[in-house]
C-alpha cells in the first residue's frame, strides 16, 4: 500500500503509538516534546486526509486486511476529516502554545502519565471519527473518555476531583447507553459495521429492539455531548481542569460525541426507520432551543470566567444541535461548520484564560478587575475570540450564525421564531462577554497595575488562534466546503 492509502490508519496509529512511549520518557520535558511532535504529525495527516476526502464520497480502509463486515473498517468522509482537523489542530496549538502553563500546573512526577494520557485522548477521539464500526467507536470512546478524565484531574486544583468524578459517572452512563443500543442493533442485524447496519435494519421485521436502540444511542451520545439538560457534568469539569486541558477539550470533545450522534441518527436510522426524522427533530429541537436560552442566561449571571465560558459552550452545543434538527442541508451545514468555528472561538478564549491564569491567582470575575491594563495583549486577543463567539461579521462565528439564520428562515413560519431565539441568545452572549470586557478594561485594579504579560510563546499561540477566527471569518472556504459536502452526504439518507 502507498503512503497515501495508509493515511486513515496513520491518523489513529501516530498518537496511539506515541502514547506508551511518552509514559516511559521520564519527568523532564521529553514527554511534552513527544506529545507535541506526534500532535503536529497527526495534524499533517489530517490535512492530507481533508484534501483527499474533499473530492470523494468516503475513503475506506480495512484494518488488518479483513474486509467489512468481518473486519473493522475505517471510513474517512469530509465530516470525519473536518473533525480530525479540529482534534489534531486543537491539540497541536495547545501543546505548542501552553507549555509554560502546563509546567506550572502539572507536577513533575505526573508528567509522563499526563502526556501519555493526552496522546491517548487525541488518538481515542481520532479513532472515533475515523471508524466505520459501531463497536470500535465504543472502544475508542472508552480510551478517549478515560484519558480525558485523567487530563482533567491532572492539575493541582483539588476541586477538579469531585468534578471529574461526576463527569466519569455521567460519561460512563452515556457510554453504557450507547453500548446497550449497539448491542440491541447487533442482536437484530448480526452486524457491527455502520454501513452494513444501515442496509440490514431495513430488513428487520420486529422493530421494538431497534426503536429502543435508537433511544439508547441518541440519549447516551447526547449525554456525552452535553446536550441540555444532560450537561450538568460540563461546567465544573471545564472550570477546574488545567487551563490548557480546558482549551483542548472545549475545542473538540463534545463535538466528537455530536459527530457520532449525527452519523448514527442520519446514516443508520434515518433512511431505514419510518418517521425517524420527525422524532429526531421533535426530541432535539426543543432541547436545542432550551440549551441556547437557558445556558446563555446562566452564563449572564456566572461569576467565574471559566464557568461562564463553559456555560457558553453548552449554548453552542445547542446551536449545533439546532442546525442539525432542522433536517435540511442548510441546517446541517450550519451546525457542522459551527463545530469548526466554535472550536476556533472557544479555543482562542480558553487560551486567553490560560494566559490570564499565569498572572492572576483567581479567575473569578471580581478578581480580574483591570486585567486589560496588566495584560493588554491577552485581553485584546480575548476580545477577538469573544467577537467571534457572539458572531460579529468578519469573524468565524458570524459565518455559522449567518448560515444558521438562513437555514432557519427556509423552514417557514417556525423559522422566524428560531431566528428570534438565535438573535436573543446572541444578545445574551453580548451581555456575558461585556461583563468580562467591562471588568477587564473599566474596573480599577486592586493592586499595582504594572504591565505584566503572559510568556511570549503563549501569547503568540493565542494570537494565532485569535487571528484564525478572523481569517476563517473572511475566508471560510475550507471548513464550509467540508461541512457542505458532509451535510450533503448526511441528507442523502433522509427520506
Which residues of this chain interact with another protein, rule CB under 8 A?
1, 6, 9, 12-13, 16-17, 19-21, 23-24, 61-66, 69-72, 107, 109-110, 112-114, 116-117, 120, 123-124, 127, 135-136, 139-140, 142-143, 146-147, 149-150, 153-154, 180, 184, 186-192, 200, 204, 206-209, 211-213, 215-216
> What per-residue string of b and e applies to 124-159 under the rule 16 or more CB within 10 Å gives b?
bbbbbbbbbbbebbbbbbebbbbbbbbbbbbbeeee
Residue (of 161, 165, 119) closest to 144 by Cα position: 119
DSSP state of 29: S
Distance from the Cα of residue 182 to its chain's centroid: 23
Is-contact 342 335, C-beta < 8 A?
no
> Virtual CA dihedral for 430, 432, 433, 438, nearest 10 degrees?
110
Cell of 237: 469539569
Residue 431 CB burial class (10 angstroms; 0-12, 13-18, ≥19)? middle
Residue 274 is given by DSSP the state T
Written as nine digits, the cell of 280 is 429526531
**Could you tell me the smallest distance in angstroms from the CB atom of residue 23 to another protein?**
5
Sign of the CA dihedral with 233 first, then 236, 241, and 244 last: positive
> Do the beta carbons of residue 434 and residue 445 sit within 8 Å?
no
By C-beta, is 157 or 329 nearer to another protein?
A: 157
CB of 190 to another protein, least distance (A): 3
- At closest approach, how far in Å is the CB of 488 from another protein? 29
**Least distance to another protein from the beta carbon of 167, Å?**
13
Helix (H, G, I), strand (E, B) or coil at 128: helix
Distance (Å, rounded) from C-alpha 416 to C-alpha 256?
Answer: 30
| Radius of gyration of the CA atoms of the chain, in A | 21
Biggest alpha carbon–alpha carbon distance for the chain: 74
Q: Cell 452512563: give the residue.
A: 173
Task: Provide the 10 A C-beta neighbour count for residue 212.
Answer: 14
Question: Which residues make beta-bridge pairs with 193?
Answer: 133
Q: Could you tell me the smallest distance in angstroms from the CB atom of residue 6 to another protein? A: 6
Closer CB to another protein, 29 or 411, in the complex: 29
Tell me the torsion sign for CA atoms 47, 20, 244, 318.
positive
Q: In this complex, which beta carbon is closest to another protein, that of residue 17 or of residue 286?
A: 17
Residue 192 or 336 with smaller CB distance to another protein: 192
Quickly tell me which residue has 421564531 as its cell.
417
Phi, psi of 265 (to 5 degrees): -65, -35
| Minimum CB distance to another protein smaller for 264 or for 472 | 264
Report in angstroms how near the CB of residue 354 gets to another protein at its nearest.
20
* Cα–Cα distance measured from residue 103 to residue 90, given in angstroms and rounded to the nearest whole number: 18
Smallest separation (angstroms) from another protein to the CB of 109: 4
232: Cβ–Cβ under 8 A, 6 or more apart, which residues? 166, 170
- Taking the least distance from each CB to another protein, the nearer of 184 and 428 is 184
The distance of closest approach from Cβ of residue 7 to another protein in the complex, given in angstroms and rounded to an integer, is 11
| Residue number, 62 or 367, with CB nearest to another protein | 62
Which is closer to another protein, CB of 3 or CB of 450? 3
| Least distance from another protein to the Cβ atom of residue 208, Å | 4
Distance in Å, CB of 363 to another protein, minimum = 22
- Which residues are paired to 73 by β-bridges? 62
Amino acid at each position: 500500500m502507498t503512503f497515501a492509502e495508509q493515511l486513515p490508519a496513520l491518523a489513529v496509529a501516530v498518537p496511539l503509538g506515541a502514547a506508551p512511549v511518552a509514559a516511559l520518557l521520564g519527568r523532564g520535558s521529553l514527554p511534552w516534546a513527544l506529545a507535541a511532535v506526534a500532535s503536529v504529525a497527526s495534524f499533517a495527516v489530517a490535512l492530507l486526509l481533508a484534501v483527499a476526502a474533499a473530492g470523494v464520497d468516503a475513503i475506506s480502509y480495512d484494518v488488518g486486511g479483513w474486509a467489512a463486515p468481518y473486519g473493522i473498517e475505517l471510513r474517512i468522509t469530509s465530516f470525519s476529516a473536518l473533525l480530525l482537523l479540529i482534534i489534531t489542530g486543537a491539540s497541536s496549538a495547545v501543546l505548542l502554545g501552553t507549555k509554560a502553563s502546563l509546567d506550572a500546573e502539572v507536577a513533575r512526577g505526573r508528567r509522563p502519565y499526563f502526556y501519555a494520557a493526552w496522546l491517548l485522548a487525541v488518538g481515542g477521539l481520532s479513532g472515533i471519527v475515523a471508524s466505520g464500526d459501531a463497536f470500535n467507536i465504543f472502544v475508542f470512546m472508552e480510551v478517549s473518555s478515560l484519558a480525558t478524565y485523567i487530563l482533567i484531574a491532572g492539575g493541582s486544583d483539588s476541586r477538579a476531583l469531585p468534578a471529574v468524578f461526576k463527569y466519569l459517572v455521567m460519561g460512563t452512563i452515556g457510554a453504557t447507553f450507547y453500548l446497550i443500543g449497539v448491542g440491541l442493533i447487533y442482536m437484530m442485524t448480526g452486524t457491527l459495521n455502520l454501513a452494513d447496519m444501515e442496509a440490514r435494519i431495513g430488513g428487520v421485521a420486529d422493530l421494538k429492539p431497534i426503536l429502543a436502540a435508537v433511544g439508547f444511542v441518541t440519549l447516551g451520545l447526547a449525554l456525552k455531548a452535553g446536550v441540555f439538560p444532560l450537561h450538568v457534568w460540563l461546567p465544573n469539569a471545564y472550570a477546574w481542569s488545567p487551563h490548557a486541558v480546558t482549551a483542548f477539550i472545549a475545542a473538540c470533545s463534545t463535538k466528537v460525541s455530536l459527530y457520532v450522534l449525527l452519523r448514527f441518527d442520519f446514516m443508520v436510522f434515518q433512511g431505514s426507520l419510518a418517521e425517524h426524522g420527525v422524532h429526531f427533530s421533535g426530541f432535539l429541537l426543543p432541547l436545542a432551543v432550551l440549551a441556547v436560552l437557558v445556558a446563555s442566561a446562566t452564563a449572564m449571571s456566572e461569576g467565574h470566567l471559566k464557568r461562564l465560558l463553559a456555560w457558553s459552550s453548552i449554548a453552542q452545543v445547542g446551536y449545533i444541535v439546532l442546525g442539525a434538527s432542522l433536517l435540511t442541508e442548510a441546517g446541517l451545514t450550519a451546525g457542522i461548520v459551527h463545530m469548526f468555528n466554535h472550536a476556533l472561538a472557544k479555543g482562542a478564549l480558553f487560551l486567553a484564560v490560560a494566559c490570564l491564569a499565569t498572572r492572576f491567582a483567581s479567575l473569578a470575575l471580581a478578581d480580574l478587575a483591570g486585567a486589560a491594563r496588566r495584560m493588554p495583549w491577552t485581553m485584546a486577543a480575548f476580545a477577538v475570540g469573544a467577537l467571534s463567539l457572539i458572531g460579529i461579521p468578519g469573524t468565524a462565528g458570524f459565518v455559522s450564525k449567518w448560515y444558521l439564520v438562513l437555514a432557519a428562515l427556509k423552514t417557514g413560519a417556525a423559522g422566524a421564531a428560531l431566528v428570534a431565539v438565535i438573535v436573543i441568545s446572541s444578545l445574551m452572549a453580548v451581555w456575558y462577554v461585556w461583563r468580562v470586557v467591562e471588568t477587564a478594561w473599566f474596573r480599577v485594579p486592586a493592586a499595582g497595575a504594572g504591565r505584566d504579560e503572559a510568556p511570549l510563546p503563549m501569547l503568540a499561540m493565542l494570537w494565532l488562534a485569535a487571528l484564525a477566527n478572523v481569517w476563517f471569518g473572511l475566508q471560510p472556504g475550507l471548513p464550509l466546503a467540508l461541512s457542505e459536502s458532509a451535510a450533503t452526504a448526511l441528507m442523502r439518507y433522509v427520506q
